[in-house]
Amino acid sequence: MKNNLIFSALVALMVSLSSIGIYSFYHNHGKVVKVEHISGTPSASAVYTLNNNGDPIPLDFNEPAKKVIDGVVHIKSTHLYAGNRRNFQFRNTPNPFRDFFGDSFQPFFRPGIPDNDSGQNPRNDQMPGRVGTGSGVIISADGYIVTNNHVVAEADDIEVTLYDNRTYKAKVIGTDPSTDLALLQIKEKDLPVVPLVDSDQTHIGQWVLAVGNPMGLNSTVTAGIISAKGRNINILRDKYAVEDFIQTDAAINPGNSGGALVNLQGGLVGINTAIASTTGSFAGYGFAIPANIVNKVIEDLVEYGSVQRGVLGVMIRNLDGNFVKEKGLLVSKGVYVDSLLGNSAAAIAGIKPGDIIVAVNGQSILTSAALQGMIARYRPGEKVNLKINRDAKEMDIKVVLNNREGNTELSSKDDRAILKVLGADLEDLKPETASKLEITGGVLVKKIYPGKLSKHTQMRDGFIITKINGKQVSSVEDLLERLEKREGGIMLEGVYSDIPGVYYYAFGL
């Protein structure tokens, strides 16, 4: 019995020693994997930012992303290519239009619809065309959406897809190539909205999120900071372009155009518009139109049908060290007034060449872009207070802004669909102008914006329409009645007040 107990003890001792040896061997050779689970992350609130009161608060992108993502949409714009056109015989129309019209202007072609043997128009989805995509921001619960003009320019069909995948056809309410903005509307109610904020209150270094649909990746959110303000990158080709961009390092790529740049409270700071890149993809710098400019453009498009933009009537330039030294200036911040234009609101108010504009309505001005952006928020007839520096002395001057024609009149709103199709502001020709040009009357094209005229003709502002399809017109009402009854080819004949000769412009309805 005693021997058995001793033997059992020896066996137990050997087993224990062996287990210890095996554990030591595997432990030292890294064969034992120990997985630990941490129930809480101490670093979750380790990153902080400051609120408007300077108090530290946890930095969290989750809440603003949830607030905004439902209010940013995907936009698909389709431009149909013109199909083959029959070569009509031509008899009584000017040479440039032989491809457009036949005898007595009949039959008329329809742009974008190819010929076919059946005589039936093919479906739109059978027509050749190009498709572009971008983003948009819902700014009203009843279906108003703001985007970039370049996203929808010349589109024959616009389709909007919401975050929840509902899809709608969109109508263009108005466009503003000068700021690259467009306003659309879809037929829907109770939509999620992204509220606009005062973009003047944003500052360099502030966190922002860019929300959009880049490179086919729907509902994408990226984060960064505002890296500069008042940028002019000379990307807009409009004669009266307004570039006062917010610069950000939040990643923006093709497809983000028209999307939202928002603060950490989910407020719309700007509309993402462009990137600075040599490759076409994000390279560190994106640009957004400030919300204050967006707000003004939207209000004008809804109320007037076109943007009512006040102008100072000055030629300006930025200050830099060399220019300050060359001119012997005593200040180095502000915008230099180089010269004044005819009918200048600034000249009437007392602004002189050589003055330096340093503030508008109490807002400091450092660049020409910032000055343009500030003035673009006001309509003709509205007053702005300019603080200028003249001979090292500051003074305040009130200026009543003009329109581009040199007066304070606002453009009247006309909701007729044909005007939106044409893309033009029209008015009856004044009798004294008609007499001077030795014509009986006509219709003055005051302003051309995106539409049939800009897309299919080389017509410019100031053209005077005297005939439509060979028949005299004497008033806007007369012209519109004839256009509304006509389908197919249209030829406008007329003159310019400053160029000799008769001009012809043709397009299809």
Question: Residue written as tokens 């929840």?
Answer: 164
The DSSP bridge partners found for residue 467 are 472, 493
Q: Would you say 392 and 416 are in contact if contact means Cβ atoms under 8 Å apart?
A: no
Rounded to whole angstroms, how far apart are CA atoms 138 and 10? Answer: 83
**Phi, psi of 328, deg, nearest 5:** 65, 35
Burial class (CB in 10 A: 0-12, 13-18, 19+), 73: buried
Q: What angle do CA 241, 243, 249 make, to 5 degrees?
A: 150
How wide is the angle at C-alpha 310 spanned by C-alphas 304 and 313, nearest 5°? Answer: 150
Instruction: Sort strands 393-400 and 383-390 into parallel, antiparallel or unpaired.
Output: antiparallel
How far, in whole angstroms, is CA 500 from its chain's centroid?
A: 37
The Cα 30–Cα 22 span in angstroms is 12
Contact 75, 131 (CB under 8 A): no
d(CA 281, CA 30) in angstroms, rounded, equals 46
Q: Quote the DSSP letter at residue 311.
A: B
Asked if 315 and 349 touch (Cβ cutoff 8 Å), the reply is no
The Cα–Cα gap between 406 and 429 comes to 18
Q: Beta 181-185 vs 171-176: how paired, if at all?
A: antiparallel
Task: Fill in the amino acid letter for 427.
Answer: E
Cβ neighbours of residue 312 closer than 8 Å, sequence gap 6 or more: 344, 345, 346, 351, 375, 399, 401
Structure tokens at 192: 């999620």
Q: Where does 114-265 have alpha helices with state H?
A: 149-152
Q: Which has the closest alpha carbon to 71: 145, 159, 138?
A: 138
CB 423 within 8 A of CB 448: yes
Burial 438-449 (b: 16+ CB within 10 A, else e): eeebbbbbbebb
User: Residue 87 to residues 41, 98, 160, 455, 457: CA-CA distances in angstroms?
Assistant: 75, 8, 38, 22, 20
- Both structure tokens of 121: 């128009």
How, if at all, do strands 335-340 and 356-360 pair? antiparallel
**Residues 6 or more apart from 440 whose CB is under 8 A from it?**
434, 466, 472, 474
Catalytic residue set: 150, 180, 257
Helix, strand, coil tally for the chain in percent (to 5): 25, 30, 45
